[in-house]
Structure 1
Amino acid sequence: MHSVVLTKGVPDFREGQVSFDEDGHLERGATPTVMNPNDEFALEAALQTKVKRGGTVSVMSMGPPGYESVLEEAMGVYADDLYLLSDREMAAADTWSTSITLSAGIEKIDEEPDLVFAGFKTADGETGQTGPQTSWCLDRPIVTHVVSMEIDEEAGRLRAKRLVEGDVDEIETVEAPLPAFVVTDPEFEPSYRRAEHRLRHKQLRAETEERVENYEDHLTTWSAEELDLDPDFIGLDGSPTIVSGVDPIPKAPSEREATMVTPDDEEGMEQVLETMRPLAGGD
């Protein structure tokens, strides 16, 4: 089984250094970046597939050269090899032109993947469109909101449970032929009930932790030219979405005052103890 996991770098809002250019586009090269949190569930699903069915797991991302750190982070969960699609022609892409680029990258990999995984949505866009659109470009059946899954290799089918949200959340069981596209839900939980699978999972995790120290040796970078992409269909030029404006995220005001007390301030320490004593007593 060959799986490809799509991941994306998103701004690390914890750093408070999100940068935009004069046109309102996010300057990813000047913004601290981390792996999109929802993509970890897709990585866990691909790892579960490898544990139970063998094969390889490739991880792919589109972005500037700095996204190597995102792929390094993804390999920390699990990856056999990494692919970065990086070119100025790809910059400022919306979900549609991103999907065109990612599908071209997937098709360029020597071994056609049996499964392509994507996270539910990204922390910076929140649209949840890239996975389904990439699936459309690849002309593959897609199963979304997957919370658990199994593969029947002999039958060549994916069997998955998916979360259906509504007035009352329900679990729906569906099947799809391979090759297929899977969008994992944040409720996804890998299952390793057999002892051999738990041991294999532990072994693979140890292997990827060792491999991540030299992740560059497992990284392949492709440009737009190497992917044979038409500049009119990628990046900003290929994006039908128009950003009318971007409002900065204000920092929340501090709601509490802080009093600094040093260990050598006996009076101050006494006041701290007097303040804490009722709380320690449960009052």
Structure 2
Amino acid sequence: MHSVVLTKGVPDFREGQVAFDEDGHLERGNTPTVMNPNDKHALRTALQTKVRHGGQLSVMSMGPPGYGDVLREAMETVYADDLYLLSDRELAASDTWATAITLATGLQKLDDTPDLVFAGFKTADGETGHTGPQACWCLDWPIITHVVALDVDEDEGTVRAKRLVEGDIEEIETVEAPMPAFIVADPEFEPTYRKASHRLTLKDLQAETEERAQDHEEHLTTWDHADLNLDPDYIGLDGSPTIVSSVDPIPKAPAEREATMVDPDDGEEMSEVFEAMQPFAGGRSEAAGD
């Protein structure tokens, strides 16, 4: 059984303001890159599948060479066997459609057709939730979204999932699809390892991957647009029908707490600090007494 997780590097918005160029394109070089937070739900879903059913697990991403660190983190998280990076200047400034075409082509280039492809709910920098479903559309595979529980019947070649349906009330529906298929994990997904054998397998996978992740570049395959035989007119900025009309900066939120600056060398001020903290020392309050 072969599973693939799609992941992406996104700017770490906690590090400060993100810059845009005059055309409204994100200047990623000005902020650190981290793994897209929602992709971690997909990683956990894929890991549960590997623990329960074994097989090969790969991670794929499209982005600049610096995404190698994101893939290394993914290998450590999901105990992946190998990594794939689709990286080329021709791919720069791709919207979700151009990205989906590239990822779908990368999936088709793998030696073995994946049984399952896992994608995150949405990205922190785009918030569209389009890339996974669009890549699936390119491959004409079934897709199950908002997955909160998952199991595979290898003999029947099917995947059965419970998915969250949001309407007037939250409902859970169970659906089944033939493989290969796309799985979009919901943030509510929680992996379960009830069997002792599964927990032991998880421990063994973690041990063997720690060593592999240290030399992750030896397990990394990089393909450019020529390797994928992609027409430059259908990828990157030229192949992206989405146009950014304008970008409005997000104002910094006002501080909700008032802060009093204290000189640590001022004995009187420090005494006031200790008096204010004393009732909470040791987890006790004034109401609890001495």
1:46 and 2:46 matched: yes
**Aligned CA distance change for structure 1 residues 30 and 65 (closer, same or farther; 3 Å):** farther
- Cα deviation per residue 1:226-268 (whole Å; 9 max; x = unaligned)? 1100011111111111100111222223343433435543211
- Does the aligned pair in 2 maintain the 1:17–1:32 contact within 8 Å? no
CA distance in 2 between counterparts of 1:18 and 1:245 reads 15
Letter in 2 for 1:245: S
Please name the residue that 1:84 is paired with: 85
Distance 2:141 2:232 in 1: 25
- For residues 29 and 110 of structure 1, the distance between their equivalents in structure 2, rounded to whole angstroms, comes to 33
- For residue 282 of structure 1, report the CA deviation from its aligned partner: 5.2
CA distance in 1, matches of 2:287, 2:66: 50
Report the equivalent of 1:7: 7
SS at match of 1:59: strand
Q: Secondary structure at the match of 1:203?
A: helix
Question: Aligned runs of 1:120-199 on 2, under 5 Å?
Answer: 120-199=121-200
What letter matches 2:268 in structure 1? E
Q: How has the CA–CA distance of structure 1 residues 191 and 255 changed in structure 2, closer, same or farther, with 3 Å as cutoff?
A: closer
d(CA) in 2 for partners of 1:219 and 1:25?
Answer: 28
CA shift for structure 1 position 6:
0.3
**C-alpha contact (below 8 Å) 1:12/1:33 kept by paired residues:** yes
RMSD of aligned residue pairs (Cα, Å): 1.5
Look up the equivalent residue of 1:43 and give its one-letter code: L
CA contact (8 A) 1:29 1:66 kept: no
Q: Aligned letter for 1:161? A: K
Question: Deviation per CA, 1:85-132, whole angstroms, max 9, x where unpaired?
Answer: 011111111110100000011111111110000011111111111111
Confirm or deny: 8 A CA contact 1:147 1:160 kept in the other structure.
Answer: yes
Q: Which residue identity lines up with residue 194 of structure 2 in the other structure?
A: R
Tell me the matched-pair count: 283
Please list the CA deviations of residues 24-54 of structure 1 after superposition, one character each: whole Å capped at 9, or x if unmatched: 1002233211001111111111111111111
Q: Name the CA distance, whole Å, in 2 between partners of 1:138 and 1:164.
A: 25
Equivalent-residue separation in structure 1 for 2:73 and 2:233 (angstroms): 32
| Residues 1:212 and 2:213 aligned together | yes
Q: Residue 140 of structure 1 aligns to a residue in which SS?
A: coil
List aligned pairs for 1:266-277, cutoff 5 A: 266-277=267-278
Change (3 A) 1:91 1:259: same
Report deviation, 1:206.
2.2
- Please identify, of 121-130 and 259-268, the stretch whose mean Cα deviation from structure 2 is larger: 259-268
Once the two structures are TM-superposed, the CA of residue 277 in structure 1 deviates from its matched residue by 4.2
User: What corresponds to 1:69 in structure 2?
Assistant: 69
Stretches of structure 2 lacking an aligned partner (at least 5 in a row): none
Structure-1 residue corresponding to 2:23: 23
- The runs of 4+ residues in structure 1 deviating greater than 6 Å are none
For residues 282 and 29 of structure 1, the distance between their equivalents in structure 2, rounded to whole angstroms, comes to: 53
Aligned to 1:258: 259
Q: Distance in 1 between matches of 2:223 and 2:146?
A: 30
Deviations along 1:184-221, one digit per CA (max 9) or x if unpaired, are 00011112111000110111122222221111111111
Query: 1:104-123 to 2 correspondence within 5 Å?
Result: 104-123=105-124
* Distance in 1, Cα, partners of 2:287 & 2:209: 47
1:33 is matched with 33
Q: Secondary structure at the match of 1:256?
A: coil
Contact in 2 for aligned 1:143/1:181 (Cα 8 Å)? yes
Normalised by the length of structure 1, the TM-score is 0.96
1:224 aligned partner: 225
Amino acid in structure 1 at the alignment position of 2:76: G
Identity of aligned residues (%): 72
Deviates more, 1:267-276 or 1:191-200: 267-276
Structure 1: distance between partners of 2:141 and 2:263: 63
